[in-house]
Structure 1
């Protein structure tokens, strides 16, 4: 009886990466050729690229029937679209990687060895980065902050780059998340996990698609999905500030009674107190708004992506 060959799924998202895609495909395939006992499939989800990436993906799919392409009907963002592509993976194990080449494809060989040794999840964690050192330091601070406050122990310096076994992929389907925080789900789902350090490379071509708002969106998604601490801090601070306000008011009242003719309250304390408490209220209203926004996203239950066309998929 001929044994059934196992399949490795390589899953990535794409938005205006026409300069990186050929090298990405070549480097991944070079590693796969070192493991002839495995079959493979590529799954690339394109988010309505405008730089010629779609035309290139069509040519690559025509040349390789195992190169599968999902062309989205619109840009569904760098969170939803790659996650939707991952759910299409049919392999025994899936490599989840960005197509911008900042995550070295050559680590796939190390991932496969760890998976063969029994790890269901192999996570690549950034030990260092060639990116802007200020941004790298901010990211590290965020990872440690959410790791400290999260209800589930989080992976430090983990971007989602890694190898995931079939049992993990099936467990992932049980989470009906319209706007998933994948890094948190990896920590929450569990299974035997191995961490592999790597150095994040500098982007060779193109520009990053992340800006302040997209990074803030991802950061707050992680917080509201995995901890209620900001809401509880709002309550605790509210009680504390109310107590301080009461003591200050009581102190002013007693001082006024003792020095009725000479003590005048003045306008400055009133103005400072007014603006201080107004700022605190706005901050906490914003925190509550983030959680309400997350609830709103869940209630709407939008699909992860609308697919305009799928190439080389045998439905």
Structure 2
């Protein structure tokens, strides 16, 4: 059940890589085996984020021996949001699976994803049942999910990492959004397409070390928060609306104090003036923030990545 260069495959599996020389050959072999069992034609797309450890050489060797595998080499590291999303957009399949190269997204779940997709789900997402993280990181993750669930513009799926299957229509729809910093797991929910969740126990990394340090995880979380909770830009306006009545109340107490001869009258007037000035400042900051939001909504033309080259691209082979 292998795909030809001319005919788009039923299934694409996109695997982003960064310094995964110890895992890339094994994950490709495992994914290739599972996809051949379940799909009527498949391709594997490796998108490399400027690896420096020999991953690119390993990818070239794989592409030279397996016509179902092709690769995109980025000209620099574009991070863990932009590069995987770009790879998904470039895939040709009627359904596209995105997964990690380190075996923490089990290839054995491909069959279940495909089955649910054929049953009608436009999006199928893996949902972790457990997480082998330290107590501090687990607490931070739970707190982040709870906060985002309260302020996000759309429902948040806890313990969903982005490992999942996306129908061609979903992929093409999201590609049109031209998000410069795509929080993909949030975008699929925002799109409103039907979602099926598949619980799984996430295994340990097969080899190598994680590339998601505290700094990168914090950046990812902040980007997700900014991208999925635009209402945060209006928080200063809310503060201004709350502080306005407080300033009036302080002014009223100050006037009363002036009549009654209170010793704190001067402090009340000073507090009223300071509160009013802060409220006005927050109002203008909020308005500016909302204008920035509108501008970013209208000017999304930044490319996700710039390619250095492609290896074994079926479109080139077909030409």
Matches within 5 A, 1:76-87: 76-87=78-89
1:12 equivalenced with 2:11 (yes/no) = no
Deviations 1:188-226 (A, max 9, x none): 223332111122333343333334443344333333433
| Separation in 1, partners of 2:197, 2:105 | 15
TM (normalized to structure 1)?
0.82
Quick one: distance in 1 between partners of 2:307 and 2:252?
Answer: 64
Aligned to 1:303: 303
Contact residue 234 and residue 289 of structure 2 kept, 8 A: no
Any conservation in 2 of the 1:131–1:202 contact (CA below 8 Å)? Answer: no
Distance 2:309 2:210 in 1: 26
Which consecutive residues of structure 1, in runs of 5 or more, have no partner in the other structure? Answer: none
Distance 1:228 1:10, change over 3 A: closer
User: In 2, distance between residues paired with 1:26 and 1:202?
Assistant: 18
Alignment RMSD (CA, Å) = 3.5
How far off is 1:259 after superposition? 3.6
What TM-score, normalized by structure 2, do the two folds share? Answer: 0.81
Distance 1:199 1:288, change over 3 A: farther
CA separation in 2, counterparts of 1:248 and 1:264?
11
1:31 to 34, 42, 51: 34
After superposition, give the CA deviation of every residue in 1:103-150 in whole Å (9 maximum; x if it has no partner).
Answer: 222111211221222222111122221123332332233233323333
Give the superposition deviation at 1:294. 8.9
Could you tell me which runs of 5 or more consecutive residues in structure 2 were left unpaired when the two chains were aligned: 1-6
- Equivalent residue pairs, number: 307
Q: How does 1:1-315 map to 2 (within 5 A)?
A: 7-35=10-38, 38-259=40-261, 263=263, 292=292, 295=295, 299=299, 301-313=301-313, 314-315=315-316
**Within 1, Cα distance between the matches of 2:291 and 2:211?**
25
| 1: CA distance, partners of 2:312 / 2:43 | 10
